């Protein structure tokens, strides 16, 4: 699969909870090619002195849209907080081999914590069968994507949250 470079436009950028943000981009080239478990490299426009791009798992990819779920943890993600709807962001992707396709007769078991769940959402969404998700976190704010994932594959997934104490 080919790696592409694309200038995307921010469709929305919002705080989800506990410092986690959802960045949704208009992506006509990369989004349709993304497989579950793949990622993109994002150039943070305001960080002109940064040589390296920031890698992010693709949370959602559909019909010309690509979404990234991230938490502010360093200089790059802190600079991303200032991104606004309509801003242009350059991406390289899709990158990585991705996860194998869930076979119809297999029971998918997904295990993640915090924004690690972002990489598994597409697995759940594109699976042909429902499965089990173990999602953990340091506190309740780290338990993400449960509502979005519960209805994947046409049937509810079973959830086992761990670490859901107050932050």
pLDDT at 165: 47
pLDDT at 162: 55
Mean pLDDT of the chain: 82
- Provide the residue ranges of all domains of the chain, joining segments of one domain with +: 4-95, 109-162
pLDDT over threshold 70, residue 13: yes
pLDDT at 49: 73
Q: Residue 132 and residue 59: Cα distance in Å, rounded?
A: 18
Domain 4-95 has CATH 2.40.30.10: yes
127 within 8 A of 153, measured Cβ to Cβ: yes
If you average pLDDT over residues 36-40, what whole number do you get? Answer: 94
Model pLDDT for residues 47-86, shown as the tens digit of each residue: 777 778 899 999 999 889 999 999 888 888 888 999 999 9
pLDDT at 44: 87
Work out the pLDDT band at 149, boundaries 50, 70, 90. Answer: low
Its sign, for the CA torsion 87, 88, 91, 94, is positive
53 within 8 A of 41, measured Cβ to Cβ: yes
Model pLDDT for residues 87-121, shown as the tens digit of each residue: 999 999 999 998 888 787 888 888 887 777 788 88
pLDDT at 119: 84
Its sign, for the CA torsion 66, 71, 76, 81, is positive
Residues paired with 163 in a beta bridge: none
pLDDT at 164: 47
Q: Residue 13 and residue 80: Cα distance in Å, rounded?
A: 10
Work out the pLDDT band at 125, boundaries 50, 70, 90. Answer: confident
Q: CA angle, corner 55, sides to 62 and 83, nearest 5?
A: 75
């Amino acid at each position: 699969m080919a790696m592409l470079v694309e200038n995307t436009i921010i469709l929305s950028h919002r705080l989800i909870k506990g410092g986690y943000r959802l960045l949704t981009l208009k992506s006509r080239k990369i989004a349709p090619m993304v497989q579950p478990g793949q990622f993109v490299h994002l150039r943070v426009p305001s960080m002109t002195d940064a040589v390296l791009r920031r890698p992010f798992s693709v949370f959602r990819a559909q019909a010309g849209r690509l979404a990234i779920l991230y938490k502010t943890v360093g200089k790059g993600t802190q600079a991303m907080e200032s991104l606004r709807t309509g801003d242009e962001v350059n991406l390289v992707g899709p990158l990585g081999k991705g996860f194998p396709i869930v076979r119809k007769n297999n029971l998918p078991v997904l295990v993640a914590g915090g924004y690690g769940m972002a990489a598994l959402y597409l697995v759940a969404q594109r699976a042909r069968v429902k499965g089990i998700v173990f999602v953990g976190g340091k506190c309740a704010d780290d338990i993400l994507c449960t509502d979005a994932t519960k209805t994947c594959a046409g049937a509810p997934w079973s959830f086992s949250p761990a670490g859901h104490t107050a932050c």
